[in-house]
Chain A
Amino acid sequence: MTASTKNTTTVEADRNLPTIKIVREFDAPRERVHRAWTDPELVPQWLGPHGTTIELLTWDIRTGGSYRYSATDCDGNKVYFFGSFHEIRADRLVQTFTFEGYPDGVSLDTLTLEELDGGRTRATILSLVENLQTRDMILASGMAKGVTEGYEKLDQLL
């Protein structure tokens, strides 16, 4: 493991498929990345947009389980997310993801954890939604601080 390695995140939005693919490598073995992704004490420490506080309300992480959490921003605005854990494996986590403010925009998220040389891990998250319009809305919102606030900022851009 080289300490100087800079792991960068890539995001790919397919032109013809309603998907978002995120790829990122980590300087940690797969078991550890898996634990950070699933342990209810660790997840709130990194999940969610910058400046938000994540509270896990339900976290039944097993194949067939479910989750729900809230995200509170620095102004006290609270939004909720929920979904099902479809399958939890050492190398693959499949779950649904819904923002409660946009209930029709359910996403099927597949996280693949790939072991790399030097005790490193490559994480690939493939999110699939119903259509391109929904995918673009998710990209546009950045899924940050709730979709509504994202639109307000977009309004200013336009």
Chain B
Amino acid sequence: MTDQLSRVFAALADPTRRDIVARLSAGDATVNELAAPYDVSVQAVSKHLKVLSDAGLVSRSKDAQRRPCHLEAEVFDLMTKWIERYRRQAEERFSRLDAVLAAMDDKPNRAQGAAS
């Protein structure tokens, strides 16, 4: 696994950071705006933003206290892509299961109590 990918996973593993990402998906926001709904300091939110920015999920200007934070949608879209690919793989599997079900007769379940 690449370092960048590790950072993305680690960054998104924290519920507060996921929440920040979700809020930034609705539009850019300042650190103060992001800190408002949480029972934590602006400094704590800044630390979370640093983790997100190190992972490439959020971009910030140098003057981070005043300038809005911006979600790098390209990277965030990865999650949507992962879920969609995962879904497609499940769909493939279940299409094969459809075929198995259609071909089955009504014999009793031989699997009950069977060991390999």
A residues with a Cβ closer than 8 A to B are 7-11, 13, 15-16, 20, 22, 24, 26-28, 31-36, 38-42, 45-50, 56-62, 65, 131-133, 136-137, 139-140, 142-144, 151, 154-155, 157-158
Q: Kindly state the separation between the CA atoms of A42 and B97 in the bound complex, as whole angstroms.
A: 9
B residues with a Cβ closer than 8 A to A are 1-2, 4-5, 9-10, 12-15, 18-19, 22, 78-79, 81-83, 85-87, 89-94, 96-102, 104, 106, 109-116
Q: Could you say which of A11, A45, A61, A154 contacts B100, with CB atoms under 8 Å apart?
A: A45
Q: Residue on A with the closest CB to B109?
A: A35
Q: Could you say which of B14, B82, B90, B113 contacts A140, with CB atoms under 8 Å apart?
A: B82
B6 to chain A, nearest CB (A): 9
A-B contacts, 17 of them at CB < 8 A, read A11-B87, A22-B90, A27-B102, A28-B104, A40-B111, A42-B100, A42-B104, A46-B94, A46-B96, A48-B93, A60-B115, A60-B116, A137-B9, A139-B79, A139-B82, A154-B5, A155-B2
Complex interface: chain A residues within 8 A of B10 (CB) = 133
Q: Kindly state the separation between the CA atoms of A142 and B106 in the bound complex, as whole angstroms.
A: 33
Complex interface: chain B residues within 8 A of A155 (CB) = 2, 5
B111 A35 Cβ-Cβ under 8 A: yes
Interface residue SS majority, chain B: helix
A7 B94 Cβ-Cβ under 8 A: yes
A9 B116 Cβ-Cβ under 8 A: no
Q: Kindly state the separation between the CA atoms of A40 and B114 in the bound complex, as whole angstroms.
A: 9
